[in-house]
Copies of this chain bind each other. A is one copy, B any other.
Amino acid sequence: MDDIFKALNDETRRQILTLLSEKGSLTASEIHEEFEMSKPSISNHLNILRNAGLVTSEKKGQYIHYTLHTTVLQDLLVWMIKLNK
């Protein structure tokens, strides 16, 4: 849970998730094009999102495709529901 909350606590990372939600799979470079930020910084954000399980990555040749993975958000939902009991 800690990794999820950490990953979501950044506007750039939330925008990346929204972007992937709208566009489907994108490469790191395609994601980079949408932000005014260096590629290494974007790469770091993608790594944090992957550690949290919020995106998956698949290597195709020299490209790495990132995809939104919302399954882990169920944990967050369960946490919210417990709080409301």
Contacts and interface: CB of A to CB of B under 8 A. Distances in A.
Among A6, A11, A80, A85, residue most surrounded by chain B Cβ atoms (within 10 Å): A80
Contact of A17 (B8, B70, B73, B83): B83
**Interface size classification for chain A:** 20 to 34
A11 to B, nearest CB: 7
A66 to B, nearest CB: 14
> Chain A interface secondary structure, helix, strand, loop or mixed?
helix
Contact of A83 (B6, B9, B18, B85): B18
Interface of A: 1-2, 5-6, 8-9, 11, 14, 17-18, 21, 68, 70, 73, 76-77, 80, 82-85
